[in-house]
A and B are shown apart, each in its own frame.
Chain A
Amino acid sequence: NAGVTQTPKFQVLKTGQSMTLQCAQDMNHNSMYWYRQDPGMGLRLIYYSASEGTTDKGEVPNGYNVSRLNKREFSLRLESAAPSQTSVYFCATLQGSYNSPLHFGNGTRLTVT
């Protein structure tokens, strides 16, 4: 039982390049989230998906797009990477809709040069 799996674990991009961060879950949870973690800033919500076929913006959505491919998978795309997007990205899932903890993957460390 892998829980929440993120790929890749590490990535280095040049400014202007694009990439997609992948997230897959095997817990049959309805809601999925993308957060970024930066020093001194905690975790900030980028986008989330309450259920298959729906996506909504979080606190810091600029420069990102998401796709909820099916119930299991939720991807985050950077179309034109910028150094300000250097961060650690975490995918998370939620079983219900409220009063439940999020379950996190182990993160993708992204560096944009």
Chain B
Amino acid sequence: DQQVKQNSPSLSVQEGRISILNCDYTNSMFDYFLWYKKYPAEGPTFLISISSIKDKNEDGRFTVFLNKSAKHLSLHIVPSQPGDSAVYFCAASARPTQGAQKLVFGQGTRLTINP
């Protein structure tokens, strides 16, 4: 049962335009959401996060939007640059009752920025 889903395996966007990556989740206990970026042969690197008490978080060209009622989050990249070409993973976690936080990841979306 995939609790975090990224339904678009790939996305192609023109340089300078907006890239919008989408993610849906099913577990209503999730209250912390993150986006990671991954280049080939490297580990995922943290990009931006949002807590469930917010509906928007912005960091430079990157903005994450959270719609709790729809259980949907999106990542907007404006303007898109060639260096943004990578695989993007969304992830979510719920407050742990014991132990440490565990992130659940989506399948990833490969973003290609075309010059």
Contacts and interface: CB of A to CB of B under 8 A. Distances in A.
Interface of A: 4, 30-31, 33, 35, 40-45, 48, 50-51, 54, 56, 58-59, 90, 92, 94, 97-107
Given A41-B107, A42-B108, A43-B89, A104 B102 contact: no
A42 B89 contact: yes
Interface stretch (B13-21, B60-68, B69-77, B92-100): B92-100
A4 B101 contact: no
B44 interface: yes
B11 interface: no
Contacts, number: 71
B89 to A, nearest CB: 6
Interface in B1-49: 4, 6, 9, 32, 34, 36, 41-46, 49
Assign chain B's interface to a size class: 20 to 34
B107 A40 contact: yes
A101 B34 CA distance: 7
B42 A44 contact: no
B107 A99 contact: no
Contacts of A101: 34, 36, 46, 49
A31 B101 contact: yes
Given A104-B45, A107-B43, A99 B103 contact: no
